[in-house]
């Protein structure tokens, strides 16, 4: 049941092999699946990487034996051999890069650098490519920090756009795996710029890149301090939202969560509700359904049910269910935040269409007991988020009728007009310089 | 009918007979004789007597007379079967004349037993007919008259042979045997005659022998059914010329071929004759390449058979043509070194290279063009044939035949690596399948399987009855049986993905539209909507050719129907409203010609239009379409009118519907509903009163619903919708009269559950359509009185008009300077791109303009119903301000695509914006 909403199978294809490990680790911890299955999946993953030692360990723990299949041993020998070869290939350049004096000679001009390397150190394009291969290999072996360094340097030297792009992806993956969120975020933005600006060979390719980018970014956004705002900034862009709708509707879960947790994004939120409504058919997810219940169907009982499901989902999601250990407590900060905000959403909408509400019913709807609910509401009233009074004799909340002043409305309507007109005139003048002379 | 066979038999038999005499021991010729003989059997059994008689005339007069006699008897039998006394009478007179001749020849005074038997038969039948009074009454006057005269004649005649007749009646077996006996002793000539008789009596035997022969000779696939009947003298000459196989060389064939081709198109060259001659040549062609070259000429000559653009190729020629194409493919498959291309000018003697030549041989030809032509002819024939006849159904059954051909051509092209051509062919296949629901598809599949089952035995026979053995025998390599996946979706998916990969723009667009259409038939609204929006077809369909525009319209209407079935009223309405806005639905869907009062069409235009018509079996039911459109309009418009009683003119959702409503309201008396329109109008009247039961009953009584597969669930959905809209209408209309209203009461009134009612009312509250709020403890709706004063209302109008003004300015700017300069504007709207016109296909450019202009104006007043492109309503002020503004912003938002995608072509992200943006939230 709990695995019904597990997105790992849908997310994994859009990630790098190495990035799937953290997800599997998480799943293993949660115990949603059989341990054996997960271990098998891990071996499967590792089979195509160079982390053969790790694969051997897993194999041992999976079958409780010390025997390792012959092909793994063979592969290990092969990997080691190849590592040597690549290392030799890249040795001249690495030697150069490790010499701080020599590195200082590099300048911002790539052409100059290449020329200089070629003339003075006999380091040609082959060696530079070798560096790339070596970095890739290092990454495959699980040596992410090494890979990240080499890739960074490679990018400084490389002139091939495609390879440079792959190097950037590699760098991002390495940073994510090392959990350097700040640097990863920088890389992410760099990558995003390239994807958005570059004239991709095909639109399809571009969409695919965007989808990858979004998947990879999940690691960053749900770990970075400022991530929840940024995820909205990224995902809610038209181009990215379209990509989500087209190819990866499951990502709506994360965007929805970010919206719920983030209070300051109301204008975009309305648009987002429409997207959710439209995508209902293609993806079933408690979190989006929760929003649909409140804002599309006004079904508060349903919303309340969904809220419970949401809690479950959040706990089982590798990105959302991140836990923090405080002393001997483990808390899932996002869950608490989510529930608090979700309650607020229900309450807000509920209040908008009611003028009198029974406290008992409300408490029920909010998944709180009577006292808690009263306290909660009093808090809201005090912080003037709600204009209401509690009638404690009848046990009801009475809403203050809230009409917008007619004059306010009129002003609202017309406020933007002058700015728009001004802009238009401005543009008109700009576009027709000849006529301004008159 | 008979004459055809007469002539045919004439020429062939005469010749073969003479051959026979000359070269009795020539085995090969014997086969041909046999083949010729067998043709009569498979050709037309009833006529075989005639021709057989003809054959014997060379040898014996007596036999001929006898045969004539028996032929007449057969005719009489036939006439009896259909109770045709007139022809019976004629036959009787004929038989008496013949009797005289026979008597003279046999020199006996006794009439032949055959004659006596006939008399007996006739007498019996006459008595029977006379006894049956009732049947007699029913007879036509001429028939009855003939019967009476027959009665008298027969009486007189029979007196002469009275004793013999009695004898015959007593012992019919005697006469039976006697006939044989009498004839056999007379057959005293050579054994060959006997053989012939054997053939006559034992056709099965012959056939068996025959098929053995055929297997050996492996006749070319080039076949003839009945149509090769008019062998002219020239042909016979040719036959002679090529009679001796040893004499035929590549050169003679080539020379003859050039000669015939040169005659093509000249005056006095019969088109069919040309085909005949070429067909003959294929049989004597010396090399595969030559045969191929000639076959190509045959096919193009066959295309010539039909001279006019509007008429279609005769069906048998079409079938023949398909067979020829298959033969071409056979050769191409067998000799993979032969390359077909229409770009090269092949060497004169290219075709001389024989089957064992290993290099590539270039042959001129274009398979794709031929295939397309075959398709066009098929399409035309369906356009022309009256759809209510059996002929039409028969013609439809030829579809698998074409599909086989297309499939084979496509496979061949794929093998050769001509992916572009393959994708074109794939499109042809898609176009034959896309409009078929699963049931029809299954039927076609079954038919194809059945057909090929029959064809195994049947087709073989037809094919192998040809005359001389082909020199270049090609086994049937390509399958003659279409292979269909289990469901049409799978088939379409395969083909469409091929097209998307390799096809050119037009092919892709058409394939996409077919895909959309097909998804819509299968009730996958969201998929097909996404395809439509992602492909940007709406943006550029008006630049495409008319037949693609028609396809687009068809896809749109099917999408509308699909949306309706799924219960998406607003979407359905936005899909369909364009079609109905100009009242030219028939024209737009190419399902008939609509008469316009306002302008006459030139004959030229009319002809063009007629050529575009869809064949009947592809039609979308117009009544259903109209019903769906009007019902959607009703569901949207009735509450809308109730909400804006004061200025109804302002927010019009469906102009068309409003106009109809006005017309029906102007009527003094309203009779019971007759057509679709009346029904919907009657339902509208009921709905406006809040009488949902009656409204639903009227709608339900429409008989178009039987056309829907899931009729019950659709009606269920419709009922729920009607209730909902009735509730909304009620609240709009009467809310001012209430201070509070209980939920229970409301639910009971509209037969809805509490939850549904609550949901609907809540939605209205949130959207500020209803100024009220819930009183939760008592379960009541409490209405707030927020009427604006007159001054305030006017002020609101003013601000709205100002907004419109500002928007118009912006649009004017945009039109003048292009979208690029407007990026900075807070509120981008690109209404300039309207697809209003997209649906209109027939009209000229002028009308487009006018059309979209109208739409623009409408757009500015807020009630755009069309597929307007507009930016996301990103201005913060817009989304959440006042009531009227909000509604305005929403009402027209169906089918938008974002401006971003249009602005930045370089940004090719698949862009998809919802249909739902305008839905009430």
Q: What is the largest CA-CA distance in chain B?
A: 124
Measure the CA–CA gap between A184 and B814, rounded to whole angstroms.
Answer: 41
- Give, as one character, the DSSP assignment of residue B111: P
- One DSSP character per residue, B877-916 reads HHHHS-HHHHHHHHHT-TT---HHHHH-SS--------SG
Distance from CA of B420 to the nearest CA of A (A): 20
Chain A residues touching B882 at Cβ < 8 A: 404, 409, 412-413
Whole-number pLDDT of residue B864: 32
Distance from CA of B799 to the nearest CA of A (A): 6
Pairing of strands B780-783, B740-742: antiparallel
Q: What is the mean pLDDT of residues A177-204?
A: 81
Pairing of strands A396-399, A354-358: antiparallel
Which residue do the tokens 């009577």 mark?
A370
B25: tokens are 């021991």
- Surface of B (823-862) touching A: CB under 8 A: 824-827
Distance from CA of A261 to the nearest CA of B (A): 21
Nearest to B521 by CA among B498, B551, B475, B488: B488
B540: tokens are 């550029």
Closest residue of chain A to B793, computed from CA coordinates? A406
Point out the least confidently predicted range of A16-25, B56-65, B752-761, B780-789: B56-65
Point out the least confidently predicted range of A308-322, B501-515, B644-658: B644-658
- Give, as one character, the DSSP assignment of residue A118: I
Evaluate if residue B866 carries a pLDDT over 80: no
Measure the CA–CA gap between A195 and A206, rounded to whole angstroms.
Answer: 7
Q: What angle do CA B414, B417, B423 make, to 5 degrees?
A: 50
Q: Does B920 touch chain A (CB under 8 A)?
A: no
Measure the CA–CA gap between B760 and B739, rounded to whole angstroms.
Answer: 19
Is this complex scored with an ipTM above 0.90? no
HSE, side-chain direction, 13 A CA sphere, residue A158: 23
- Cβ pair A135, A151 in contact under 8 A: yes
Mean pLDDT over all residues of chain B?
69
Measure the CA–CA gap between B252 and B737, rounded to whole angstroms.
Answer: 101
Evaluate if residue B211 carries a pLDDT over 60: no
Evaluate if residue A215 carries a pLDDT over 80: yes
Count of C-beta atoms within a 10 Å radius of residue B169 = 13
Best of A204, A249, A271, A353 to disrupt the B interface by mutation (most B CBs within 10 Å)?
Answer: A353
Evaluate if residue B869 carries a pLDDT over 50: no
HSE, side-chain direction, 13 A CA sphere, residue B194: 8
Q: What is the mean pLDDT of residues B334-358?
A: 66
- Ranked by mean pLDDT, which of A83-92, A410-419, B201-210, B749-758 comes out on top? B749-758
Q: What is the mean pLDDT of residues A339-363?
A: 82
Q: What is the mean pLDDT of residues B812-817?
A: 78
Which residue do the tokens 């007597």 mark?
B49
Whole-number pLDDT of residue B599: 64
Whole-number pLDDT of residue B266: 66
Predicted confidence (pLDDT) per residue in B272-312, tens digit: 777 777 777 777 676 777 777 788 888 877 777 766 666 77
Best of B909, B915, B918, B919 to disrupt the A interface by mutation (most A CBs within 10 Å)?
Answer: B909
- Cβ pair B795, A410 in contact under 8 A: yes
Which residue do the tokens 């969120």 mark?
A181
Nearest to B889 by CA among B848, B919, B850: B919
Q: What angle do CA B543, B545, B551 make, to 5 degrees?
A: 105
Pairing of strands A396-399, B772-775: unpaired
- One DSSP character per residue, A372-396 reads HHHHHHHHHHHTTSS-EEEETTTTE
Whole-number pLDDT of residue A176: 84
A279: tokens are 């995508």
C-alpha B834, offset from chain centre: 33
Type and span of the H or E element at B505? helix B505-521
Of A207, A278, A420, the CB nearest to B826: A420
Measure the CA–CA gap between B156 and A383, rounded to whole angstroms.
Answer: 125
Give A402's pLDDT tier (boundaries 50, 70, 90). Answer: low
- Cβ pair B210, B255 in contact under 8 A: no
Chain A residues touching B809 at Cβ < 8 A: 421, 424
Q: Does B534 touch chain A (CB under 8 A)?
A: yes
Nearest to B835 by CA among B597, B537, B419: B537
HSE, side-chain direction, 13 A CA sphere, residue B916: 21
Evaluate if residue B383 carries a pLDDT over 80: yes
Whole-number pLDDT of residue B90: 81
Measure the CA–CA gap between B330 and B793, rounded to whole angstroms.
Answer: 80
- Cβ pair B611, B667 in contact under 8 A: no
Measure the CA–CA gap between B815 and A254, rounded to whole angstroms.
Answer: 40
Point out the least confidently predicted range of A297-306, B213-222, B876-885: B876-885
Of B776, B824, B921, the CB nearest to A361: B776
């Amino acid at each position: 049941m709990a695995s019904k909403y597990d997105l790992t199978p849908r997310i994994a294809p859009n990630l790098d092999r190495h990035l799937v490990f953290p997800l599997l680790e998480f799943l293993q911890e949660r115990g949603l699946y059989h341990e054996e299955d997960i271990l098998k999946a891990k071996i499967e993953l590792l089979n195509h990487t160079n982390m053969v030692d790790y694969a051997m360990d897993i194999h041992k723990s999976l079958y409780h034996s010390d025997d390792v299949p012959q092909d793994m041993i063979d592969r290990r020998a092969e990997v080691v051999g190849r590592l040597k070869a690549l290392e030799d290939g890249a040795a001249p350049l690495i030697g150069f890069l490790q010499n701080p004096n020599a590195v200082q000679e590099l300048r911002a001009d790539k052409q100059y650098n290449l020329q200089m390397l070629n003339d003075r150190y006999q380091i040609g394009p082959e060696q530079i490519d070798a560096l790339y291969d070596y970095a890739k290999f290092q990454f495959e072996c699980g040596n992410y920090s090494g890979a990240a360094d080499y890739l960074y340097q490679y990018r400084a030297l490389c002139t091939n756009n495609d390879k440079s792009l792959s190097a950037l992806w590699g760098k991002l993956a390495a940073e994510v795996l090392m959990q350097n969120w700040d640097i990863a975020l920088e890389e992410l933005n760099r990558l995003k710029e390239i994807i958005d600006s570059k004239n991709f060979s095909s639109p399809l390719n571009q969409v695919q890149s965007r989808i990858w980018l979004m998947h990879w970014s999940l690691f960053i956004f749900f770990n970075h301090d400022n991530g929840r705002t940024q995820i909205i900034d990224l995902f809610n862009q038209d181009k990215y939202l379209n990509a989500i709708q087209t190819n990866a509707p499951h990502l709506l879960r994360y965007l929805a969560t970010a919206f719920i947790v983030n209070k300051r994004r109301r204008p975009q939120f309305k648009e987002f509700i429409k997207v959710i409504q439209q995508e209902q058919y293609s993806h079933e997810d408690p979190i989006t359904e929760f929003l649909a219940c409140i804002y599309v169907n006004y079904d508060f009982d349903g919303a309340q049910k969904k809220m419970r499901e949401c809690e479950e989902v959040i706990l089982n999601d590798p990105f959302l269910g991140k836990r923090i250990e405080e002393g001997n407590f483990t808390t899932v900060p996002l869950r608490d935040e989510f529930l608090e905000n979700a309650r607020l959403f229900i309450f807000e909408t509920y209040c908008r269409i009611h003028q009198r509400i029974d406290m008992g019913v409300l408490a029920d709807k909010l998944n709180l007991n009577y006292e808690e609910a009263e306290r909660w509401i009093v808090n809201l009233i005090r912080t003037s988020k709600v204009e209401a009074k509690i009638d404690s004799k009848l046990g009801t909340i009475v809403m203050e009728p809230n009409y917008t002043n007619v004059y306010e409305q009129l002003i609202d309507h017309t406020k933007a007009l002058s700015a728009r007109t001004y802009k238009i005139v401005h543009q008109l003048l700009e576009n027709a310089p000849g006529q301004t002379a008159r | 009918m008979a004459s055809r066979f007469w002539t045919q038999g004439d020429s062939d038999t005469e010749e073969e007979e003479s051959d026979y005499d000359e070269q009795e021991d020539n085995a090969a010729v014997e086969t041909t004789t046999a083949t010729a003989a067998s043709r009569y059997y498979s050709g037309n059994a009833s006529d075989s007597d005639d021709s057989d008689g003809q054959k014997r005339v060379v040898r014996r007069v007596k036999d001929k007379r006898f045969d004539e006699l028996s032929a007449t008897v057969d005719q009489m039998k036939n006439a009896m079967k259909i109770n045709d006394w007139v022809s019976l009478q004629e036959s009787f007179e004929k038989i008496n004349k013949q009797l005289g001749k026979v008597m003279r020849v046999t020199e006996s005074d006794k009439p032949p037993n055959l004659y006596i038997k006939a008399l007996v038969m006739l007498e019996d039948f006459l008595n029977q007919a006379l006894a049956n009074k009732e049947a007699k009454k029913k007879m036509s006057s001429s028939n009855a008259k003939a019967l009476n005269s027959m009665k008298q004649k027969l009486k007189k005649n029979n007196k002469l042979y009275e004793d013999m007749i009695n004898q015959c009646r007593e012992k019919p077996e005697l006469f039976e045997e006697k006939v044989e006996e009498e004839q056999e002793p007379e057959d005293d000539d050579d054994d060959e005659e006997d053989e012939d008789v054997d053939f006559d009596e034992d056709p099965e035997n012959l056939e068996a022998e025959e098929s053995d022969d055929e297997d050996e000779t492996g006749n070319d696939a080039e076949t003839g059914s009945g149509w090769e009947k008019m062998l002219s003298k020239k042909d016979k000459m040719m036959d002679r010329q090529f009679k001796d196989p040893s004499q035929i060389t590549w050169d003679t064939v080539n020379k003859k071929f050039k000669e015939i081709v040169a005659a093509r198109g000249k005056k006095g060259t019969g088109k069919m004759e040309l085909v005949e001659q070429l067909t003959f040549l294929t049989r004597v062609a010396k090399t595969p390449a030559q045969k191929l070259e000639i076959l190509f000429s045959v096919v193009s000559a066959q295309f010539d058979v039909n001279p006019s653009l509007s008429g279609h190729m005769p069906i048998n020629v079409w079938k023949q043509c398909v067979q020829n194409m298959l033969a071409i493919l056979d050769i191409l498959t067998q000799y993979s070194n032969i390359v077909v291309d229409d770009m090269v000018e092949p060497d004169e003697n290219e075709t001389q290279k024989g089957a064992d030549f290993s290099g590539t041989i270039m042959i001129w030809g274009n398979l794709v063009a031929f295939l397309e032509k075959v398709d066009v002819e098929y399409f035309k024939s369906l356009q022309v044939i009256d759809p209510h006849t059996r002929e039409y159904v028969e013609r439809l059954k030829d579809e698998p035949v074409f599909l086989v051909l297309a499939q084979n051509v496509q496979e061949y092209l794929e093998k050769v690596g001509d992916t572009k051509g393959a994708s074109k062919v794939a499109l042809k296949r898609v176009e034959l399948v896309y409009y078929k629901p699963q049931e029809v598809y299954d039927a076609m599949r079954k038919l194809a399987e059945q057909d090929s089952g029959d064809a195994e035995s049947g087709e073989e026979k037809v094919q192998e009855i040809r005359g001389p053995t082909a020199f270049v025998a090609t086994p049937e390599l390509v399958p003659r049986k279409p292979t269909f996946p289990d469901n049409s979706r799978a088939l379409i998916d395969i083909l469409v993905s091929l097209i998307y990969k390799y096809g050119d723009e037009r092919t892709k667009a058409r394939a996409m539209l077919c895909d959309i259409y097909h998804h819509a038939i299968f009730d996958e609204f969201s998929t097909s909507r996404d395809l439509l929006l992602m492909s940007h077809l709406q943006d550029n369909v008006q630049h495409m050719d008319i037949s693609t525009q028609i396809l687009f319209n068809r896809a749109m209407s099917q999408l509308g129907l699909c949306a309706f079935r799924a219960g998406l009223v607003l979407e359905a309405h936005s899909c369909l409203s364009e079609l109905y806005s100009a009242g030219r639905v028939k024209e737009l869907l190419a399902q008939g010609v609509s008469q316009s009062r306002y302008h006459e069409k030139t004959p030229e235009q009319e002809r063009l239009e007629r050529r575009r018509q869809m064949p009947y079996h592809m039609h979308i039911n117009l009544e259903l379409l109209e019903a769906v459109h009007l019902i959607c309009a009703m569901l949207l418009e009735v509450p809308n009118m109730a909400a804006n009683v004061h200025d109804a003119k302002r927010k019009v959702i469906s102009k068309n519907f409003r106009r109809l409503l006005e017309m029906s309201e102007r009527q003094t008396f309203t009779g019971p509903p007759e057509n679709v329109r009346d029904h919907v109008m009657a339902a509208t009247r009921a709905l406006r009163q809040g009488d949902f039961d009656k409204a639903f009953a009227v709608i339900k009584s429409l008989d178009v619903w039987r056309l829907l597969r899931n009729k019950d669930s659709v009606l269920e959905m419709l009922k729920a919708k009607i209730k909902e809209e009735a509730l909304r209408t009620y609240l709009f209309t009467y809310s001012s009269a209430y201070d509070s209203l209980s939920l229970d009461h409301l639910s009971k009134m509209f037969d809805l559950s509490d939850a549904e009612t609550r949901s609907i009312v809540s939605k209205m509250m949130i959207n500020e359509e209803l100024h009220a709020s819930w009183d939760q403890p008592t379960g009541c709706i409490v209405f707030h009185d927020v009427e604006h004063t007159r001054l305030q209302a006017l002020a609101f109008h003013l601000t709205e008009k100002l907004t419109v003004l500002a928007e118009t300015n912006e649009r004017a700017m945009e039109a003048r300077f292009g979208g690029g300069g407007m990026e900075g504007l807070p509120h981008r709207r690109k209404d300039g791109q309207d697809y209003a016109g997209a649906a209109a296909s027939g009209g000229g450019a002028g009308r487009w303009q006018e059309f979209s202009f109208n739409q623009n104006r409408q757009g500015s007043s807020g009630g755009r119903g069309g597929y307007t492109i507009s930016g996301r309503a990103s201005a913060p002020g817009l989304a959440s301000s006042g009531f009227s503004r909000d509604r305005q912003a929403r009402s027209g938002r169906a089918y938008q695509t974002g401006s971003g995608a249009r602005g930045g072509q370089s940004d090719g992200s698949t862009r998809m914006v919802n249909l739902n943006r305008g839905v009430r939230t």
